[in-house]
Each structure stands twice: as C-alpha cells, then as structure tokens.
Structure 1
Amino acid sequence: MSEEPDPDRLRALEARLAQVKGKPQKAKTENGKAFSQGEMAWRMVIELVSGMLLGLSIGFGLDFVFDTRPLFLVIFALLGFAAGVRTMMRTAQTMNVKHDGTTSGTNGPDKHEGNDV
C-alpha cells in the first residue's frame, strides 16, 4: 500500500534544503507555474477551434431539426468563428496585461516607437 506524500511536509522539506544549500527558493506564480508562449499559443488555437466546432454542431443540429440544410450551418459556423476569435483576443489581451504589468490594454501608446513605417 503506497500513500501519497503530504504536500505541506514536502514544501517544508524543500524550504529547509534550500536554506541549507544557501539558494533562495524560487517564487511560484498563482497557479504553480508560469506558462510558456507555446502553451499559450496552443490554448488560443484550441479556443478558436472549439468555438468553430460548437457553432458548426449547433448549426448542423438546427438544420437537422428544421430540415434547412445549409442555412443554420453557415450562420452558426460564422458565429462560432467570431466567438472563437473574440475569446482568443481576450486571452491575448490578458497575456499582454500580465506581461506588461499594467491594465492599459490596447488603448495605450505603441511600445515600439522606433518602427514608424
């Protein structure tokens, strides 16, 4: 019978080991780790695709019920795409706010002033 280790005791042990070694312990983020840009990109792709699939499935279901094949499928596919893009842009904005440490969003001045084209 194997028991799971107690997380509090493990954290205390890690803190004591770090103290003995003389290394400062790394501060963790809210959820335990910081996400890489690749993970955030995959999250945004999944949000876009899930919005599309949800719109397509709702449209196909309504077309099946009302026997109007392409009408609701096209409408809800476009709505699903718009919802996916909106969710993806909101994620990008929160990533930008967390990266900059500000709450200005996209209404502030451009950070890259040297690239005037």
Structure 2
Amino acid sequence: MSDNDPLKDLGQKIQSAKKSYEVEPKVEGHHSGLQHAWRMVIELVSGMAIGFGLGYGLDVLFGTLPILMIVFTLLGFVAGVRTMLSTAREIQKDQVINRSEKSERNK
C-alpha cells in the first residue's frame, strides 16, 4: 500500500474547502437590534422632553401655562419622530451594505 491514502487526502481537501466557506461572525453581536430600538426610543423621548422643558419654561416666563407647553411638546414629538426616521434610514443603509459585502464574499 502507498503512504498517501486517497480517502484521507479527499477528507483533508473537503475540510479545507469547508473552512474557506465558513461565515465570519458578526461584529455587532446578537443584541444589535435591541441597541437600535433603544437608540430610537431615547431619541423620541429626549425630543419630547426638550420640547416639554422649553414649553414649560416659556409658559412660566409669559404666564400662559398650558398653551406653549402643549405646543412645544408636540413639536418635540415631531422632531423625535424625524430623528427616529433618519436613524432607521441609516440602519437600513448599513444593512444593505453588509448584505452586499456578504454576497460578494460568497461568490
């Protein structure tokens, strides 16, 4: 018998081929969706809180207590939603880039 066993060589070639096609682990980790969700919640709440604070301060200053507080709280809500939407677009763009890079590696 020869020293080079063809089945053993074939097994080694299969193992090396499998290693070359293994998917690299994500850098972000499995909690990345939760991190994005908390980021969006914080952006919305902070926008509303800033609007509430400005409205309340102006109401106390001008003596028109509920009016400006309500208006600025609503404006803060709108600003928070706009910030959330821009964050969602940014996250979506990153995911598209990651998918395209992943498909390029698998070719």
TM bucket (normalised to shorter chain) is: 0.5 to 0.7
**Structure 2 unaligned runs (5+)?**
1-23, 99-107
CA radius of gyration, larger in: 2
TM-score of the two chains, using structure 1 as the length reference: 0.58
Identity %: 48
Alignment size in residue pairs: 73
Aligned to 1:49: 45
* d(CA) in 1 for partners of 2:80, 2:28: 24
**Structure 1 unaligned runs (5+)?**
1-25, 103-117
Runs of 4+ with >2 A deviation: none
Aligned to 1:85: 81
1:1-117 equivalent positions in 2, closer than 5 A: 33-34=27-28, 36-101=32-97
Instruction: Considering fraction of residues, name the structure with more helix.
Output: 2
Give the counterpart letter for 1:38 in structure 2.
L
Aligned to 1:108: none
Structure of higher RCO (CA pairs closer than 8 Å, 6+ residues apart): 2
Q: CA RMSD in A?
A: 2.0
